[in-house]
Amino acid sequence: MRPDPPIGGQTPLDDLSGLRIRSIRTTAELNAAEAENIRKATLKYLASRPTRRSARFDISWLRRLHAEMFGDVWRWAGSFRTHETNIGAPSHDIEVRLHALLEDLKVWEDSRMPLLEQAVRLHHVAVQIHPFANGNGRWSRMAGNIWLKLHGAAPIEWPETTIGSASTIRGEYLEAVRVADKGDYSALLALHERFASRSGE
């Protein structure tokens, strides 16, 4: 298959050699296969409250989460990228940066930081590191939602189809991430609050 050209903020899919499903011929078919894989992970972690044992929030679990979300479709799912991308940490620095994020997460949890802000910061820093060849945005949003659910809060109901395609919401989302890159989390927090209003236990 030849994937469609990436839209703003997407990682280009230059190498399709890791595709498990050889019958996939179009980007729409690829998106559908990934969505079904992600649905399984969503049911596992968000249908009921996860435990500290099932969602350990260590580096090996973060890798496994990505594999659970994309492993039916891509052989490299759950493996850190070894090449450089137009965004993200240098490949040799990925594990160090993730370790620092997890240490920060413990500090945020032990502090008086509001739970939603913890999830926002987790989501942002994870996607900023960009550890995998693809799927980083969906993986980081899932990690943030699992963190919320682990603490008894409702997950954010992201409009994934809209965020994943050229749209006003995608533009807002990417701009909020860029502002967060400069240390201002207000826009990204507002987006989380906006879609949290649809959620319910």
pLDDT digits (tens, 9 = 90+) for 3-29: 545 545 555 555 678 999 989 988 889
Check if the beta carbon of residue 13 is closer than 8 Å to that of residue 6. Answer: yes
Residue-range definition of the domain harbouring residue 158: 27-196
Q: Element (H or E) spanning 184, and its range?
A: none
Give CA 36 to chain center in angstroms. Answer: 16
Burial (CB count <10 Å: 0-12, 13-18, 19+), residue 15: exposed
Question: Are the C-beta atoms of 161 and 32 separated by less than 8 Å?
Answer: no
Give the count of alpha carbons within 13 A of 21, CB side only: 18
Residues with pLDDT less than 70, the chain: 1-15, 197-201
Give the SS3 label for residue 174.
helix
For residue 106, give the CATH number of its domain. 1.10.3290.10
Domain-embedded: residue 8: no
22 within domain boundaries: no
Q: How many domains does the chain have?
A: 1
- The answer to whether residue 56 is domain-embedded is yes
Q: Provide the pLDDT for residue 201.
A: 41
Q: Dump pLDDT digits (tens) for 50-60.
A: 999 999 999 99
For residue 13, being part of any structural domain is answered with no
User: Does residue 139 lie within any of the structural domains?
Assistant: yes
